[in-house]
Amino acid sequence: MQNDRTMTRVGRRDMLKWAGAAAAAAVAFGVDIPGLRLEEAFAQAPIDLGAGDTGVLNYAYALEQLEAAFYTEVVEHPYKGSEKDMNYLRQIHSHEVEHRDFLRKALGNNAIPALKPNFTAVDFDSRESVLKTASAFEDLGVAAYNGGGAAIQNPQYLAVAGAIVSVEGRHAATLRSLLIGDGVSFAGPDIIDGNGLDRALPPSKVLPQAAVYVRTPFTAKLLP
C-alpha cells in the first residue's frame, strides 16, 4: 500500500510541476492560452487513480462517486410520472451512496479527491433520458467490476468487489425492466456474450465512457 501511495503522490507532483511550469512560462513570455489562468493551472492537473489494489479501489470509487452523484440529482429533482419508478430509483440511490462511502472509508488517505460530475447531457425532467442514462451507468459498472476484479490481489477486496457487482447487476436488471419490460433485450447480446457471460471491460475501455460525465480530469496510467 505504501508503494501505491508513493507512486500516486509522485504522479500528482509531476503533473503539478508541469502545470505550474507551463502556466508560468505562458505569463513570462506573454502567451495567451485561452481558458488558462495561473491560479487554475494546478486544478487542471489530472488525478491519477494509482496502482495495484489501491488503484483498482480508486477506480471503483470514481465510478461509485459518479453513480451516487447522478442518483442524488434524480431523487432531489424527480421527473414527473410514475411513483413506482422513483421508489426503485431511491433504493438504487441509497445503495450507490453506501458503495461510495464504503470505498472512501476503505481507501482512507489513499482515496482520490471528490470528482465534480458533469450531467449536462442528461435531461432530468425526461423519464427516458434518466432511465437510459441510469441503465448505461449500471451496465458499465457491471462490466467495470468484472474487468477490474482480475487486477485485485487482496482476496478480501475481491470478495467485496464481488458483493458490490452483484448489487450493480440487480440495479441493471431493474432499470432494463423499467425501460423495456420483459423480453430478450432484458439480458441481450449487448451485455451477455455467446458463452452466457456478462461483459468484462478493462479501465482503458470504461474510463473514456465515464469521463463524459465528469468535469475533474483523471487518469489510470498505472492500471492494466
Q: Would you write out the chain's pLDDT as a tens digit for each of its 224 residues?
A: 444 444 444 444 443 333 333 333 333 333 444 444 444 444 567 899 999 999 999 999 999 999 999 999 999 999 998 899 999 999 999 999 999 999 999 999 999 999 999 999 999 999 999 999 999 999 999 999 999 998 999 999 999 999 999 999 999 999 998 988 765 566 778 888 888 889 999 999 999 999 999 999 999 989 98
Note whether residue 165 is domain-resident. Answer: yes
State the CATH number of the domain containing residue 152. 1.20.1260.10
In terms of domains, do 116 and 174 share one?
yes
In terms of domains, do 128 and 142 share one?
yes
In terms of domains, do 155 and 57 share one?
yes
Whether 67 contacts 141, CB under 8 Å: yes
* Cα 206 off chain centre by: 9
Q: In Å, what is the CA distance from 87 to each residue of 62, 82, 83, 93, 189?
A: 25, 9, 6, 10, 29
Whether 82 contacts 128, CB under 8 Å: no
In terms of domains, do 103 and 193 share one?
yes
In terms of domains, do 202 and 97 share one?
yes
In terms of domains, do 55 and 28 share one?
no
In terms of domains, do 120 and 95 share one?
yes
- Can you tell me the distance from the alpha carbon of 58 to that of 192, in angstroms, rounded to the nearest whole number? 26
Indicate the number of domains in the chain.
2
Note whether residue 87 is domain-resident. Answer: yes
In terms of domains, do 117 and 13 share one?
no
Instruction: State the DSSP code for 51.
Output: S
In terms of domains, do 124 and 155 share one?
yes
Note whether residue 7 is domain-resident. Answer: yes
Structural domain span for residue 5: 1-45
Please state whether the predicted TM-score (pTM) of the whole model is above 0.85.
no
Whether 54 contacts 36, CB under 8 Å: no
In terms of domains, do 102 and 175 share one?
yes
In terms of domains, do 96 and 168 share one?
yes
Note whether residue 224 is domain-resident. Answer: no
Note whether residue 190 is domain-resident. Answer: yes
In terms of domains, do 60 and 24 share one?
no
Note whether residue 54 is domain-resident. Answer: yes
